Amino acid sequence: MDSRVFWLRIKTHGWVYSFSIAATLALGILIGTVVSYGVKGKEGQKSSDATPLTVPSPKLLSNTFSQIAKQLGPSVVNINTESTIKNPHRRRGQQGPDDDENGGNGGMDDFFNRFFGGQGGGQGQGGPNGDAGIRERSLGSGVVVDPKGYIVTNRHVVDKADRIRVRLQDDPPGIQHDAKVVGEDQETDLAVIKIDMDRSVPSAKLGNSDSMQVGDWVLAIGSPFGQVGTVTAGIVSAKGRDIVPGRQFQTFIQTDAAINPGNSGGPLVNMDGEVIGINTAILSETNAYAGVGFSLPSNTVVQVYNQLIGPEHRVSRGSIGIEFSPQPAPAIARVYGVNSGVTISAVVAGSPADQAGLKVGDTITNVDGRDVKNGDELVGEIASRKPGSKAKLGFVRNGKKQETTVAVADRAKLFAARLGEDQENGDESTPKQSKFGATVRSLTPEMAERLDITAGKGVIVQDVKVGSFAEDIGLGRGDVVLEINKQPVNSEDDFAKVESSLKSGQDVVFLVRPRGSSRQDGTVFLAGTLP
């Protein structure tokens, strides 16, 4: 090694940089001392006439982003959860939480994790009491909306967690605060948690998401991959996105601000420093940022939050007990002779719609004089009303306009079986777990095609309760149930009918297409004795 290079290494306190003589000459300032050599180059030219480089004084450029980051940063929290998986085995063809690195199963990229899950995290063996199982850790984000310690996040961040801990950005390393769940809403994937503090906690202000326009600047703040306090910038790419066909109460703000696993539950912020969305999902072939992220609008968040902090800690939505095609179908409109509205495909027996005389084939055109053009508008009108209230419906039957008044019922009670809930002792605020402990939904044609399932066959598992019979036998979220005890199951009603007919002590055999498997992979039996 050249002696002059070695001397430079000593003077810089052991910095291990292997500089050539020419590179050493280019470093004009080291530890406040200008190092100058009068060494000749190849052609004999001296460098003593070189002008030393200098660092200019700090200059104030556009600082809108940095001001918002400083303002909102302290209210954004990191959420760390732990849960115990009782049956950690993985069946043939079933994906695990980290299987999407190379694109998942043929581009589907794990349908449910892609939209409503997929939080990264490590795993450790053993349950909280030394029992068998896997201790799963997950990371997410949240935003404080009340100085008393109330935090909004995604339901999938805290769902089934045995322990929830929150880290504030100004906390010293290693300091976390235990949190409890105040309430959660499966329909919008939102949850409210609370930490108890002896001081006020920095909180964010929510804005009006309806005021946002496509092209507006936004910031996403959160803990992607556990990197606390990360800020990314982008624009509003689109509004009113329905990312899961047939899923109600959820339309999203699309953004190209980078959102990755760990950002879930964190805020999307406008240039006034207001939260206008909660970052919920990404659309990606790799389970990482691909320029398309989705945030639940703040106006929806406010409606859900105000009910979750109420006495019942649940969201009550109105319903009249009808079903209809989630996607507009011009053929239906032509056959039934209507240009606009929602044509009823099923009426729940004994429901308010049934009592009001509505029938299959009727097309609802307005609610209390306000036109409804599609199912989303109809659901929005009815769901926002309190159970027990009245609504006047205009509808078309056989080409003739008619009207009727219908009572609004509690949707959770009206569709208890298919929502995986039931009511105990008439108390609407106390959900009763079903016998199986699984919530299912019918497959839309789009989902059937994506999952490689014959159209009209099977139901997909939307949720599995912790400690339930379904979990014990290995039934998982995203599995497709084709039969139960040799009986075809092609709808939520089929599932509920079979479930209600079984009693404690009876054997139950599910024929299942495991999540992530293709038609070529075949099906599996999951069996057990109903407790």
203: its two tokens = 């909180």
Q: One of 75, 138, 141, 264 is an active-site residue; which one?
A: 264
Name the token pair of 187: 């329909």
Annotated catalytic residue, options 109, 159, 185, 189: 189
Helix count and strand count (H, E) for the chain: 13, 32
Let me know if 264 is a catalytic residue: yes
Question: CA–CA distance from 262 to each of 25, 83, 305 (Å)?
Answer: 45, 16, 21
Residue 325 annotated to the active site: no
| DSSP category for residue 53 | P
Strand partners, 218: 234
d(CA 322, CA 343) in angstroms, rounded, equals 10
Residue 467, SS3 per DSSP = coil
Query: What is the spatial distance between Cα 146 and Cα 478, in angstroms, rounded to a whole number?
Result: 35
- Cβ atoms of 316 and 304 within 8 Å: the answer is no
Q: SS3 string of 405-447?
A: EEECEEHHHHCCCCCCCCEECCEEEEECCCCCCEEEEECCHHH
Q: How far is CA 239 from CA 219, 289, 309, 339, 380, in A?
A: 16, 19, 27, 25, 16
To the query of whether residue 479 is one of the catalytic residues in this protein, the response is no
Q: State which amino acid sits at residue 409.
A: A
How many Cα atoms occupy the beta-carbon half-sphere of 17 within 13 Å? 15
Per annotation, catalytic residue among 110, 141, 156, 319: 156
Query: What DSSP assignment string belongs to 278-336?
Result: EEEEE--SSSS--S-EEEEEHHHHHHHHHHHTSTT-S---EE-SEEE-SS--HHHHHHH
Q: Which residues are catalytic?
A: 156, 189, 264
